Amino acid sequence: PDRVPFHGHHQAGVVTPQQLFAGFAGFDVLAEDRDGLVELFRKITHRTRVLTAGVKPRDEQVAAERPTPDSLSITVGVGASLFDDRFGLSGHKPRHLKAMPAFPDDRLEPSRCHGDLSLQICAEHPDAIVHVLRDLARETEGLLRPRWRADAFLNPSRPSGARRNFLGFKDGIVNPDTASSREMNRLMWVTPSCGEPDWALGGCYQVLRLIRFHVEKWDRVPLGRQERIFGRHKASGAPLDGRRETDAPHYRDDPHGRRIALNSHIRLANPRTDRTDDSRFLRRSYNYNDGFDKQGRMNLGLVFCGYQQDPERQFATVQRRLEHEPLAHFITPIGGGYFFVLPGVRDSDDWFGSRLL
Ligand code: HEM
């Protein structure tokens, strides 16, 4: 379907099947008081409602052609910095929201991190994303200042199944079951048992990590070693003890890591024990590819995007297990942020943040 529904208890773009293109951006809010913030959120709501439905002619001022909905979703998150004294919101911050900390293997660049507000804009064509960014720039002038942006996309699935990232491995094979409301209420959405403020019900947390790949180095690593680093076959995507990409690895039968190394990426990330089960979260990542750097090295990697109920219990716990993993030699996290994805806009009278503000 061409149109992703906008209204709902949860925002679109989280459990929505991944569109081919994505723009991620962090902004600072220039509005000076609560009224300005309300105006900003009302404007973003209005434009999101209109744009995701397909622009009507009277709204069309600049675009030469009327874009179709193009499976467009616009997902709005807020950063910890929005809850400072400016807007009197300090008592209303989601419990687990804080600025993304630097982990030991990180080399974070301040100009690519954080923000009062985050947008994830996804569509089937890149021009739809540019169109949204231009529309919002015009409509929110004076209220928002861009901070960072990452344009990203999915590679085709070859030969079939999960798509490959730029290290050449199938990525996104294993994820929580978004069709299971039980699993989603346990791992994803803020529910009454989470101890969060009431206004946050139906929201979730977004962890963004801009992760650069050192492909020049990676491309010198023999295939067998690359496969041991991930714990999966490169060609098929199957775990090293299996045949098909959807086969589950059997860690219990391999306690010493003879077939799938104990320090392989998949085994560290998800050891599949009862104790680690509630650190799982939804990955919805995209690739980026941005020319050469000043030293002539390829500037590309992953916009890692994780959705979850609690970034400490989930993302940070998994990240700590991955600390100094063999893969860490070939990747460097350079940016990103922690954001709280606002609850959905329920109907045509509702707006983003209505229960917060
Ligand atoms: C699995 C790549 C960073 C968490 C995988 C897989 C690949 C991969 C190829 C196997 C296929 C799959 O199940 O999707 C990468 C690359 C990364 C990266 C290239 C860095 C640039 C991270 C980070 C985290 C993470 C930062 C979390 C902190 C996971 C998880 C799985 C996984 C949870 C699924 C493991 C399982 O359930 O078997 N990753 N990943 N990855 N990765 Fe990563």
Pocket mutation for ligand 1, best pick of 100, 171, 219, 282 (most atoms within 8 Å of C-beta): 171
The C-alpha atoms of residue 11 and residue 345 are separated, in whole angstroms, by 7
The C-alpha atoms of residue 242 and residue 233 are separated, in whole angstroms, by 9
Q: Are the C-beta atoms of 227 and 218 separated by less than 8 Å?
A: no
The C-alpha atoms of residue 318 and residue 311 are separated, in whole angstroms, by 10
- pTM here is 0.96
Ligand 1 mean position to 105 CA, how many Å? Answer: 16
Residue 222: count of CB within 10 angstroms of its CB:
8
Per-residue tokens: 262: 């104990």
pLDDT for the residue 43: 98
Residue listed under structure tokens 């060609």: 235
Q: Residues near ligand 1 with C-beta < 6 Å?
A: 165, 167, 169-174, 209, 211, 230, 232, 265-266, 269-270, 302, 304, 315, 318-319, 322, 331
Q: Give alpha helix (H) positions in 54-163.
A: 126-139
The C-alpha atoms of residue 340 and residue 58 are separated, in whole angstroms, by 33
Residue listed under structure tokens 């061409």: 2
Counting from 1 in the atom list of ligand 1, the atom nearest the Cα of 322 is: 28
The C-alpha atoms of residue 161 and residue 236 are separated, in whole angstroms, by 9
- Digits of tens for pLDDT over the chain (357 positions)? 589 999 999 999 999 999 999 999 999 999 999 999 999 999 999 999 999 998 655 555 555 565 678 999 999 999 999 999 899 999 999 999 999 999 999 999 999 999 999 999 999 999 999 999 999 999 999 999 999 999 999 999 999 999 999 999 999 999 999 999 999 999 999 999 999 999 999 999 999 999 999 999 999 999 999 999 999 999 999 999 999 999 999 999 999 999 999 999 999 999 999 999 999 999 999 999 999 999 999 999 999 999 999 999 999 999 999 999 999 999 999 999 999 999 999 999 999 999 999
Give the residue, by CA position, lying nearest to ligand 1 atom 9: 171
The C-alpha atoms of residue 231 and residue 166 are separated, in whole angstroms, by 17
- Measured in whole angstroms, the distance separating CA 207 from the mean position of its chain's CA atoms is 6
State the DSSP string of 265-300: HHHHH----TTTGGG--EE--EEEEEEE-TTS-EEE
pLDDT for the residue 55: 61
Dmax (CA) of the chain? 66
